[in-house]
Amino acid sequence: MAFTNTLPSRVFSPHILLRLLLLLGLFCILTGTAWIYQRAPRNAAGISTPHHFPVPNTKPHPIDVLLKRAEIQFHSLMAKETLDLKSATKAYRERRGRHPPPGFDKWFQYAQENGAVMVEDFFDQIYHDLTPFWGVEAKTIRRQANTFEQVVSVRNGTATFKTDTHREWMDLWHNLIQTIEKWLPDVDVPINVMDEPRVIVPWEEINTCVSKERQSRHLPDAKDVLSKFTGLRDVDTWNSSAPVDLDFIKSGVYWDIARIGCPPDSPAHNITAVTDFSGPPPSVPTTFPPNSFSGYVQNWTQAKDPCLQPSLRETHGSFVEPISQSTTHTLFPMFGGSKLPMNNEILIPPAMYWSHRELYTGGDNEHGGPWEKKKNMAVWRGMASGGRNKRENWRRFQRHRFLEMVNGTSVEVAERNPEKPGQGQTFDLGFYKVYDLKTKVYELGSWLKGVVDAGFISLVCFPDEGNEKCSYSDPWYSPVAKMKMKDMYSYKFLPDVDGNSFSGRYWGFLQSTSLPIKATIYAEWHDSRLVPWLHFVPMDNSFVDFYGVLEYFMGVKNEEGNYEGSHDEVARKIAMAGKEWAEKVLRREDMLIYVMRLLLEYARVCDDKREFLGFVDDLGR
């Protein structure tokens, strides 16, 4: 659901033209290579023979192509960087079709003083999240927000909060907002303190709200624009503080609750839930994942979207059996750290990203040593979370699948499965033949044994059997020792998959000197700042591309024990680019800048005069 309508971009400056020419050159080199390859004479074995000049004898690997595309995407993003208030407001009006909110100048100054890289697109998520609220009466939003159980409030430049019981996340989010309180208008920010997102409004209803926003979007004359928020005096003097009934649904099959948030023409909208989760997942992919480029993720938005991949209803714990569930179908301004594409939460940086705890980052100054000193292996540690795994459903959980697929022993067992060759407990190697890899079937298991160190630290069995026992999954998983984040950074590759919701360690991984390989169905505040294949490696939620990704970066061990055809230098470059970029645009300062901008917009959409509130000082009023 892409709500943000991009307005025509501004006229090219000579500077941008130059960049475009450079990119065009790059592109020609790339496509030229492919063209030469196709025209080169071939012998019977299909190997090109040298002509007048050396000709590459292999087609570019699909990942080579994706890497180039990522560079191009990044350059066109950075061509939009704005360096002063005037161009920032211009970029705002072009992209959003409104005047910036009151306080935009102070916000811009704060961002600049704190060294922010300023690209209007970095804030797209805010508009995606807030757009539907323009279709609801402002008074309704104010009342809903004020009466919720957990709320951070700002009045007269001071942040306070209320909560039902002591909660670490409330402390953290309050602290974050407090840091910027003196720049903020009066707001009530209801907070989701659960792991799982909680708002799913039927797509048709959101669509109606979105078209209302579209109709109300305009640029009033500067003389008609108001620069002061009304404030929340009315909310504070309301007679009744009875909470708005949001009708949270606490039971039921989550997939059926969730898919009504998918567009009606999407593959998932009409597909009802699966209820029998016993045995391996039935949908055995023997083709590349949908929307992929020769098997590898080319559109990260699509790869993350369960609306486009109904098979996830039986292969992701969030749909198989979430640990906790409490969902409303009422549009309500709930702020939270992550959400699914069908959710209507307003995203803020997850509380754990604001904490300094070593558990999530490896420690503030621990980002790993030099690449050359790292083990040429992938490492993964974590709990068997993802939802409530039980005897009758555990084979459908993403973490169980990932661990079985990278466990050399279990892959060997699957390869030699006498009844159904390739069939494991949670996966089927049927897909393997469509990936043209050097590591052959029957060699896969032994290869993985040497290149992956992965295991559950706890099997989180249900019902609990104590002593780290889990009678139903014990034959296939043995708990391994915990490993600190900073010790994981002595491995080159860091695969990352969802737990009960998004994975909280990803932020630490991005800042490390190792390479994150990421699969998820969850959205986060930072998504439009990161370019897949440039700052991290994206992975499909079926994980069928993982072997290909590893082989591309590591190469294959030959008989002498050396790796051939590796792209180690590329892996190092992405790892370092991700780290350097995270240090520029995912800093604690960037979280504050994002939240400040978000709350200016939120205060406006909660104000009865919202259509005429704006910042227009730059227009020479």
Ligand X SMILES: *[C@@H]1O[C@H](CO)[C@@H](O)[C@H](O)[C@H]1NC(C)=O
Q: Which residues bind ligand X (CB under 6 A)?
A: 2, 155-156, 238-239, 264-265, 269-270, 299, 301-302, 407, 409-410, 413, 455, 476-478, 480
Taking alpha carbons only, the member of 98, 97, 604 closest to residue 333 is 604
Minimum CB distance to ligand X, residue 150 (Å): 19
Nearer to ligand X, 231 or 363 (CB): 231
Q: How far apart are CA 477 and CA 458, in angstroms?
A: 10
Residue type, 35: W
Nearer to ligand X, 239 or 251 (CB): 239
Minimum CB distance to ligand X, residue 26 (Å): 17
Alpha helix stretches (DSSP H) within 371-420:
398-406, 408-415
- Residue 542 neighbours by CB distance under 10 Å: 25
Longest dimension (CA), the chain: 87
User: Parallel, antiparallel, or unpaired for β 292-293 and 335-336?
Assistant: unpaired
Q: What is the CA radius of gyration of the chain?
A: 26
Nearer to ligand X, 352 or 452 (CB): 452
Minimum CB distance to ligand X, residue 22 (Å): 20
Minimum CB distance to ligand X, residue 566 (Å): 26
Residues 331, 199 contacting (CB under 8 angstroms): yes
CA atoms within 13 A on the CB side of 479: 15
Classify 210 as helix, strand or coil. helix
Minimum CB distance to ligand X, residue 194 (Å): 27
Minimum CB distance to ligand X, residue 363 (Å): 26
Minimum CB distance to ligand X, residue 168 (Å): 26
Residues 96, 5 contacting (CB under 8 angstroms): no
Residue with tokens 């034959």: 475
Nearer to ligand X, 220 or 267 (CB): 267
Nearer to ligand X, 165 or 239 (CB): 239
Q: How far apart are CA 137 and CA 108, in angstroms?
A: 29
Nearer to ligand X, 260 or 576 (CB): 260
Kindly tell me the sign of the dihedral angle through the C-alpha atoms of 304, 306, 308, 312. Answer: positive
Nearer to ligand X, 194 or 244 (CB): 244
- Residue 257 neighbours by CB distance under 10 Å: 18
Residue type, 307: C
Q: How far apart are CA 249 and CA 355, in angstroms?
A: 31
Nearer to ligand X, 216 or 270 (CB): 270
Minimum CB distance to ligand X, residue 48 (Å): 32
Minimum CB distance to ligand X, residue 392 (Å): 20
Nearer to ligand X, 43 or 240 (CB): 240
In angstroms, the Cα distances linking 403 to 379, 431, 491, 590 are 11, 17, 17, 34
